[in-house]
Amino acid sequence: MTRISVLALPDGMASSLAITLDALETANQVSLQGGRRPPFEVRTVRTGGATAATRGACDLLIVPGLGVRSEAELIARLATPAVRRAGRIAVEARAAGAAVAASCASTFILAQAGLLSGRRATTTWWLAPAFHRLHPDVDLDADQIVVADWPIATAGAAMAQMDLMLAVIAKFASPGLSEASARYLLLDQRRSQAPYMAVSFLAGQDEQVARAEAWIRANIARDFGMDEVAGAIGLTPRTFARRLASVCGLSPVKFAQRIRMEAAERLLETTRLSVDEVARRVGYAEPSTLRRLIRRESRRSPAELRRTA
């Protein structure tokens, strides 16, 4: 039986904590119904008091979402005694041989504690630029919903806690039990945060990147190079690339591609234009290129996008 400690952070995201406990309980119940022992022994550890209830060894420590609404709020929360205590608990758990898993803004707790240095990780897409800036020693892949670089696993935006829990169940029980739990909870597999990223939100944090976004949207129907985009906003290509990486966590090519993809998806969802015409309007001479990108980024076909609109 895997011994799991779940941190209950003061003012943490209640849904993230509930998802964690519900997913593990579901896995235990599914296992019992199949005539097998429950695989998980779960306890909740609170970090808000003068002393944290941290006694007792565990095999896995889970840090649910911190629950913040802005980068400024995140920075303030990371400095609080309770959150710093959570970081120390995570370090102690790893030193004792336990695995550690965290999602959303709580990935910053692990990074601040030094647990992600030199490792692959992900975080919530809208805080990825801050993560890049604060923790350049981490190999961040913000496209991914879950990066299971065991003995440490991280997950993306708030509801990615469920995806993280399915990865935990697969790792510490079995892939079959993870799939069965997903069926009970009516969950679909999701591999990427990319379809959910709002490029305009990220670009709006920097005046020149916002200008680049506006220029690309104004010229979206024609072919252009990234040097032309950089020149249009008065930056060298190298400076433009650095600025984009800092603000959006994207390369110039990926930035333009995301904008084209957003525009294409909007046209597919709101018009009856053919895929060939949509591709032409967003700057792709070959419709097959757009089809490939949509399948890769959204895991759906153009026809599926149209059906779900």
According to the model, what pLDDT value does residue 195 have?
58
- CB neighbours of 210 closer than 8 A, spacing ≥ 6? 203, 204
Structure tokens at 4: 């799991």
For residue 224, the SS3 value is coil
- Interaxial angle between packed helices 14-33 and 175-184, expressed in degrees from 0 to 180 and rounded to the nearest 10: 110
According to the model, what pLDDT value does residue 194 have?
61
According to the model, what pLDDT value does residue 189 have?
64
According to the model, what pLDDT value does residue 46 have?
87
Q: How far apart are the first and last CA of the chain?
A: 45
Low-confidence ranges of the chain (pLDDT < 70): 48-56, 188-192, 194-198, 201, 299, 306-309
pLDDT digits (tens, 9 = 90+) for 214-252: 999 999 999 999 999 999 999 999 999 998 887 777 899
What single DSSP character describes residue 69? S
- In order, the DSSP letters of 3-32 are EEEEEE-TT--HHHHHHHHHHHHHHHHHHH
Count of C-beta atoms within a 10 Å radius of residue 304 = 14
According to the model, what pLDDT value does residue 53 have?
42
Residue with tokens 């990780």: 121
Structure tokens at 297: 């980024």
- Interaxial angle between packed helices 81-95 and 71-78, expressed in degrees from 0 to 180 and rounded to the nearest 10: 70
According to the model, what pLDDT value does residue 196 have?
61
According to the model, what pLDDT value does residue 48 have?
61
Are 60 and 101 contacting, i.e. CB atoms less than 8 angstroms apart? yes
For residue 44, the SS3 value is strand
Which residues on neighbouring strands pair with residue 150, listed in sequence order? none
Give pTM, 2 decimals.
0.72
